[in-house]
Amino acid sequence: MDSYFLRFLLRGLVQPGWIFSNVRRERESFSVMDSTVAVQTNGFGSLFHAVRNASMDAFRSPTLRKTPRRIALLSKWPNPSGSRRGPGCWLSQPFSLAAPWLVGHARNISEVESRQKKGTNCLWGEYWSDVTIAQTDEPTPQKPLRLWPGVVAVVLQWLVRFGVPIVVPGAIAFGVFGGLLGGLAVVVWWAFLSRAPRSERWGAVVLMIVALVATSRIIHKSIATGMMGMMFVIYAIPVLSLAFVVWAMASRGLSDGPRRASMVATILFACGVWTLLRTGGMTGDVDSDFEWRWAETPEERLLAQAVDEPAALPAARAAAKTGADWPGFRGPHRDGIIPGVRIETDWSASPPVELWRRPIGPGWSSFAVRSDLLYTQEQRGDGEVVACYNVTTGKPVWTHRDAARFWESNAGAGPRATPTLSNGRVYTFGATGILNALDAGDGAVVWSRNAASDTGTKVPGWGFASSPLVVDDVVIVAAAGRLVAYDLATGDPRWSGPARGAGYSSPHLLTIDGVAQVLLLSGAGAISVAPADGTLLWEHRWPSGSAIVQPALASDGDVLISTSDSAGGVGTRRIAVAHGPHGWTIEERWTSVGLKPYFNDFVVHDGHAFGFDGSILACIDLKDGKRKWKGGRYGHGQLVLFPDQDLLLVLSEEGELALVGAAADQFRELARFPAIEGKTWNHPVLVGDVLLVRNGQEMVAFRLSLARR
């Protein structure tokens, strides 16, 4: 190639109007140019692109595929100043360089004619050249699919969606976003980078959208409403992406018909399989419990069984004891602390001994215990049930049923609150707002109210979850983020506190600077009211989504609070609350992200707080909120504290019992024991040496070996 050609080639490459081509043809016949494609180009560099583009269009045409073809090039370029050599001297070189672009169909390339346009003085030339391409019956070969971008996209999608949350607990939001983004990457690959025929590329994309939309209309309600209505999309897109890429790899060798038919079948199957499933709910880490749509739920199996008839309880025995061994939610002070008890920690030598095990209706209620009777709440069909069982045998004693049913996809059916025992009565608060005062001996109704209708409060997304609190002559519940008090004797409303947004925490009785007060955490922060009349004493704002766990007191009287949002726990905060001549003052000491409980309560011991940071147990120092250790994956479980023994008893989300040292120096697990099957969010209860655990499927009683003093 001589220097003139290089100079003009470079000039053509940088010349404005890089490619200006006008391919004159009719879509079906090219009859206008008599099987010739005419291309006009400005600038020598664009000539090569014009040849390539025109030839590719021609070769794709069914009409021209089996006829002789000519590409006529009309090009303009400058003749070198002072040179007598015209472009015709090297006009054949562009065609020679362009020949590889003619897709192997060019058989004879020759310069036919070069003629100078009159009046150009050889500075600008207009030249016609014809390239004749020999006739051939060979079809244009289709380039193979480019698969590697799709494979890389789907592998990264699954690693981010399902792998990262396993390695990094609490990264579920990142995983969900990565799964959706990976699905978009697969679509971009197929539509623009796959080299598939256009009809297959865009046909597959349209079919995916139609299949997803159509399937979303007929899937089970539990999937349609799960994860705030996003469960189907969040799970279906990664599955569809994987199935589609596997299809693309497996169908490379198939002809057009079978390949397209299998593509349609793959898309429809990857979407349609979700119509065969339902979910029993989600774990705290947003993992769903999928089952076949037609499979019986534990509740349906329970209802199909012959239910034991409650045994009659003599009235004298029922009234023999008015106090309670475990009066309600998290114990006498709602702090999860069991003083005065020491248990054996070598469970290899002295494991928990099972006393009885029985199925139970769904619900996240814990237990209240008095003497040999335990009380809990559960769902049975269309009835919300308060049930009394015998502690020693597990046999039912009595049941009370309200015609109400609460269900939502994430946590399932059933009541959320725990009964409260006080002076021979059991007070219960249902998920739809029904507040009952029942006789603890036989379940007879003393009075009943509906806090939702009394306060005009809509049932929150996860149901009412407040456990009733008895203070003096009133029983107090939280109707979402508002405290409501009722007269113990009559059930008449006594007062209603200020509304402070969503919340699932229970009212908590504290004494600060000698003043008894009821504290409630909600999505707006913390409020404290006088139990007698609901007067607002003080308020600390910490806006978030909602609050679920209970507050706690530090040894010096400071208050520990926590909050959460839709992604989980946000953190723990220590506030100093004081009562002076000018009223109440609140000062924030610190806010820590070292302990971020979601719906799993924490305990305070020896200047430290122990609880769940997401799904992993953690300890923080109450002086500054700094984390001391983090270890032990127990899911989103619950725990109680044996302060005399510096010991935590943990009930994991998977139903395992574990003993962990309540010490700040390091995480130390002492023992582990399988206790119960299924997702377990309910708080454990220890009365004497009897440990009671339950979830939404069954409840179990164990006898623990007490340690010798």
Residue at a domain's end among 133, 159, 188: 133
Write out the H or E segment, with its range, that includes residue 590: strand 583-592
C-alpha distances (whole Å) from 703 to each of 129, 341, 392, 593, 685 are 100, 14, 10, 37, 12
What is the rounded average pLDDT of the residues 166-192?
90
Calpha distance 84→238 (Å, rounded) = 67
What is the rounded average pLDDT of the residues 547-563?
94
User: Quick check: is 439 in a domain?
Assistant: no
Least confident stretch, 30-34, 277-281, 345-349, 681-685? 30-34
What is the rounded average pLDDT of the residues 557-577?
91
Residue 398 has pLDDT above 60, yes or no: yes
Which residues have a Cβ under 8 Å from the Cβ of 202 and sit 6 or more positions away?
191
Residue 103 has pLDDT above 60, yes or no: no
| Adjacency order of strands within the sheet including 493-496 | 469-471, 474-479, 482-487, 493-496
User: Quick check: is 563 in a domain?
Assistant: no
Residue 566 has pLDDT above 80, yes or no: no
Residue at a domain's end among 405, 434, 464: 464
Same domain, 187 and 246: yes
281-311 confidence digits (pLDDT tens): 888 888 888 999 999 999 999 999 865 656 5
Q: What percent of the chain has pLDDT over 90?
A: 68
The predicted structure's pLDDT at residue 485: 98
Dihedral angle sign, alpha carbons of residues 496, 498, 503, 508: negative
User: Quick check: is 58 in a domain?
Assistant: yes
Which residues have a Cβ under 8 Å from the Cβ of 331 and sit 6 or more positions away?
337, 338, 640, 685
Residue 32 has pLDDT above 60, yes or no: no
Same domain, 267 and 167: yes
Q: By C-alpha distance, which of 525, 519, 605, 522 is closest to 573?
A: 525
Quickly state the pLDDT bin for 333 (edges 50, 70, 90). very high
Same domain, 314 and 453: yes
Residue 244 has pLDDT above 50, yes or no: yes
User: Quick check: is 648 in a domain?
Assistant: no
Same domain, 127 and 187: no
Which residues have a Cβ under 8 Å from the Cβ of 119 and sit 6 or more positions away?
none
**Which residue has better confidence, 133 or 347?**
347
Residue 98 has pLDDT above 80, yes or no: no
Residue 84 has pLDDT above 80, yes or no: no
**Which residue has better confidence, 43 or 416?**
416
Residue 188 has pLDDT above 60, yes or no: yes
Same domain, 155 and 248: yes
Residue 71 has pLDDT above 80, yes or no: no
Quickly state the pLDDT bin for 313 (edges 50, 70, 90). low
Same domain, 88 and 198: no
What is the rounded average pLDDT of the residues 601-627?
96
- Structure tokens that stand for 115 in this block: 């003629």
Same domain, 263 and 201: yes
User: Quick check: is 230 in a domain?
Assistant: yes
Which residues have a Cβ under 8 Å from the Cβ of 54 and sit 6 or more positions away?
21, 23, 37, 39, 71
The predicted structure's pLDDT at residue 174: 87
User: Quick check: is 477 in a domain?
Assistant: no
Calpha distance 44→261 (Å, rounded) = 47
**Which residue has better confidence, 308 or 370?**
370
The predicted structure's pLDDT at residue 139: 56
Residue at a domain's end among 133, 166, 195: 133
The predicted structure's pLDDT at residue 143: 81
Split into its structural domains, the chain has a count of: 3
Quickly state the pLDDT bin for 569 (edges 50, 70, 90). confident
The predicted structure's pLDDT at residue 591: 96
Residue 78 φ then ψ, to 5°: -80, 140
Would you say the pTM of this structure is higher than 0.85? Answer: no
Quickly state the pLDDT bin for 125 (edges 50, 70, 90). very low
What is the rounded average pLDDT of the residues 620-638?
95
Same domain, 98 and 187: no
What is the rounded average pLDDT of the residues 85-92?
40
CA angle (155 as vertex; 151, 159 as ends), nearest 5: 170
Which residues have a Cβ under 8 Å from the Cβ of 672 and sit 6 or more positions away?
347, 656, 657, 658, 659
Q: Give me the domain span that covers residue 173.
A: 148-292
Same domain, 13 and 82: yes
Residue 2 has pLDDT above 70, yes or no: no
Residue 128 has pLDDT above 60, yes or no: no
Residue 145 has pLDDT above 60, yes or no: yes
Same domain, 260 and 384: no
Least confident stretch, 20-34, 257-271, 608-622? 20-34
Quickly state the pLDDT bin for 323 (edges 50, 70, 90). low
Place of tokens 């739809």: 432
The chain-wide mean pLDDT, for the chain, equals 83
Residue 590 has pLDDT above 70, yes or no: yes
Quickly state the pLDDT bin for 500 (edges 50, 70, 90). confident
Residue 43 has pLDDT above 70, yes or no: no
Same domain, 311 and 455: yes
Least confident stretch, 29-33, 204-208, 321-325, 484-488? 29-33
Same domain, 108 and 153: no
What is the rounded average pLDDT of the residues 338-357?
96
The predicted structure's pLDDT at residue 138: 55
The predicted structure's pLDDT at residue 29: 32
The predicted structure's pLDDT at residue 545: 79
